[in-house]
């Protein structure tokens, strides 16, 4: 992976990761207001499970990135950092997608209102991630050009 590609990939994935962290409590409360108490607890458990998958993927990706970077023969600091970020985040995303999930919210929802609220959260998160990746990649182009 050359400096330019790792810079764009790393910053694009970083943009996607940061953009999903910005969901407000108000947006989650829209769903929580619709869900009965027993589904609130299930929703929290699912959030915790998914977060743990992502964080474990980050740790695994960080270890993998460290091992790869240790053997890369480049003096460009931006290249090394962006490659580390790209490998870490890509590993985390792949790990998250491949890990089996123990439960899904849709298995527990019974009303159209619950489904609609869940779908709104799902669409918002997916949209934020894709927009974050696109904006991160666009911002990375001049940054990668200047540092590589």
Ramachandran angles phi, psi of 33, nearest 5°: -65, -30
Q: Is the pLDDT score of 14 beyond 70? A: yes
Whether the CB-CB separation of 88 and 61 falls below 8 Å is answered with: yes
pLDDT computed for residue 93 by the predictor: 93
| 27-50 mean pLDDT | 84
62-77: average pLDDT? 89
pLDDT over 70 (residue 111): yes
Interval 133-138 mean pLDDT: 94
Rounded Cα gap, residues 138 and 143, in angstroms: 9
Q: Domain residues for 14?
A: 3-147
For the chain, give the mean pLDDT.
89
In the predicted model, is pLDDT for residue 122 greater than 90?
no
Per the structure block, which two tokens stand in for 76?
A: 């460009």
pLDDT at residue 62, rounded to an integer: 96
> What is the count of structural domains for the chain?
1
* Predicted pLDDT of residue 25: 75
pLDDT at 86: 94
For residue 22, pLDDT beyond 80 = no
Give the list of residues 6+ apart from residue 19 with CB closer than 8 angstroms, or none: 128, 129, 131, 132, 133, 135
**pLDDT score at 32:** 80
How far is it, in rounded angstroms, from Cα 90 to Cα 84?
10
pTM: 0.84
Q: Which has the closest alpha carbon to 53: 118, 108, 103, 15?
A: 103
User: Cα–Cα distance between 146 and 36 in angstroms, integer?
Assistant: 53
Judged against a pLDDT cut of 80, whether residue 75 lies above it is answered with no
């Amino acid at each position: 992976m050359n400096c330019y590609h790792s810079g764009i990939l790393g910053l694009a994935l970083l943009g996607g990761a940061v953009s999903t962290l910005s969901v407000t409590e108000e947006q989650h409360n829209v769903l929580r207001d619709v869900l009965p108490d027993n589904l609130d607890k299930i929703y929290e458990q699912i959030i915790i499970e998914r977060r743990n998958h992502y964080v474990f993927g980050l740790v695994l990706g960080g270890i993998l990135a460290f091992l790869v970077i240790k053997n890369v023969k480049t003096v460009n600091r931006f290249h090394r950092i962006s490659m580390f970020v790209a490998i870490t985040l890509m590993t985390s995303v792949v790990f998250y997608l491949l890990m089996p999930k123990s439960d899904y919210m849709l298995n527990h929802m019974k009303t159209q209102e619950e489904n609609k609220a869940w779908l709104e959260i799902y669409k918002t998160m997916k949209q934020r991630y894709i927009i974050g990746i696109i904006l991160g990649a666009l911002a990375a182009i001049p940054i990668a050009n200047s540092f590589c």
